[in-house]
Amino acid sequence: MIIPEADTSQQGLYMDTLEIVKPGGNIALGKTLVCSDEAQDNPASAALDGKLNTAWQVQTYPQWIEIDLGHAYPIDQTALFCEGAGSCQFIMEAKATRDDPYQLLVDNSTNATSASLTNPLQDTFPITEVRYVRLTVTGDAQHSVSIHEVCVGTR
């Protein structure tokens, strides 16, 4: 927010909420989401709960979650904490408003690198102003994938 040095309009400024997002923080933590499918024991919300011992488990492909960050944020990095028998293949897309088309941020649809809870799949890209982030799991080199955490933020 920019506040002019001299305000001659005689209008006040009211701020309902001020949110400070530190670099490296996870903006997606605890946010609301919708998903294509989930198991009762492994719900999609587990991917945003901040716990690496819970997971959204994906058995068939493609499957997706759409995260609503609540309002637009400038982001330039994602990290995906996942486990599977092979490599997690996915794309990450985002948009600023509900009606906007999705823009591709990350294309790991042909990923051959295995990830783990100690070695997440991390990607960076030019700063983009987004409110909605969609992760689409497109496959795995072996079979199912467990998405333990989806992180969205700035460097």
Considering Cα of 88, then 136, then 104, then 120, what sign does the dihedral take?
negative
Per-residue pLDDT reduced to its tens digit, 50-65:
999 999 988 889 999 9
Examine residue 112 and state whether it is found in any structural domain, yes or no.
yes
Rounded Cα–Cα distance for residues 8 and 118 (Å) = 54
- Residue 83 bridge partners (DSSP): 146
Structural domain contains residue 13:
no
Please give the distance of CA 63 from its chain centroid, rounded to a whole number: 14
Burial class (CB in 10 A: 0-12, 13-18, 19+), 130: buried
Domain coverage including residue 103: 32-153
Give the count of domains, the chain.
1
Which residues lie across from 59 on neighbouring strands?
none
Tell me, yes or no, whether 132 lies in a domain: yes
Is residue 37 one of the residues assigned to a domain? yes
Does this model's pTM top 0.85? no
Instruction: Please list the residues that pair with 132 across neighbouring strands.
Output: 68, 95
- Identify whether 19 is part of a domain: no
Q: Tell whether 54 is covered by a domain.
A: yes
CATH code for position 67: 2.60.120.260
Question: Confidence class of residue 4 from pLDDT cuts 50, 70 and 90?
Answer: very low
pLDDT digits (tens, 9 = 90+) for 77-118: 999 999 865 688 999 999 999 999 999 999 999 988 888 888
pLDDT digits (tens, 9 = 90+) for 25-84: 899 999 999 999 998 899 999 999 999 999 998 888 999 999 999 999 999 999 999 986
